[in-house]
Amino acid sequence: MVRAVWEYSAALVLLVSVVTWLAAALRATRSARVMAMAAAATVLIGLIPVGGVSLAGLVLSISPSLSVAGTALWAALAIRRITGSDPLGEEGTKRLALVILLVAAPVYVSFIGGLGPDIYDSGYGFTLWDVLLGVCAAVMFIRGSFLSFVLVACLAAHATGLFGSSNIFDTLVDAPALIASMGTLVMAAFPTRKSLPNRPWL
């Protein structure tokens, strides 16, 4: 039950982020109220089954393991577009996107044989990766970084079996999050227009 709630919640966050991005990209509206209404409508529509499958269920069928860090990034981007202010700060969102990119890229490249050892295969069960994430979380907590909470949430989800996969990398990152992280970093590096203070640039 808890797993199903998490999976559908993560899928809905992804859908809301995509819908608000489309609204911002098409410049359909700059109203926070309209954006919030679009987000609420997306949640409702995402849960309504059509032909036995809801939109959220369709997302999960495409990417069944939506990660902790990925969901945090999707949520931050959606909140920024709805409210006009970044809950993590612009630098915080970029750091989160960078962490996802630095973890996911070598993991997926090694998975398809692009690197020597299969990094993904080494992530099953309790491994040195869990210890490394714990150390990184402690260091980031001391430095006052919000990323420590993301890593702790990832470790907790992995330890409790919240995800169907027992692989730590499935809990930390996912393919849609990798795409979102690359888009976030590219748009931050090459903004297409001058952004107003506290307005979304993605």
Q: What are residue 50's DSSP bridge partners?
A: 53
The answer as to whether 195 is a domain residue is no
What pLDDT is attached to residue 193? 54
The answer as to whether 23 is a domain residue is yes
Q: What are residue 167's DSSP bridge partners?
A: 124
As a whole number of angstroms, the distance between CA 132 and CA 29 comes to 44
Domains contained in the chain, number = 1
Question: What is the domain range of residue 19?
Answer: 2-189
What pLDDT is attached to residue 124? 92
The answer as to whether 199 is a domain residue is no
The answer as to whether 197 is a domain residue is no
Average confidence (pLDDT) per 10 residues, the chain, 202 residues: 74 89 72 81 86 82 82 92 84 93 92 80 91 95 92 91 83 92 89 48 34
The answer as to whether 139 is a domain residue is yes
What pLDDT is attached to residue 27? 67
Total-model pTM? 0.84
Rounded (5°) CA angle 4-36-82: 100
What pLDDT is attached to residue 130? 94
The answer as to whether 147 is a domain residue is yes
What pLDDT is attached to residue 28? 57
As a whole number of angstroms, the distance between CA 75 and CA 69 comes to 10
What pLDDT is attached to residue 132? 95
The answer as to whether 174 is a domain residue is yes
The answer as to whether 30 is a domain residue is yes
As a whole number of angstroms, the distance between CA 74 and CA 176 comes to 10
What pLDDT is attached to residue 198? 43
CB 201 within 8 A of CB 93: no
As a whole number of angstroms, the distance between CA 43 and CA 16 comes to 7
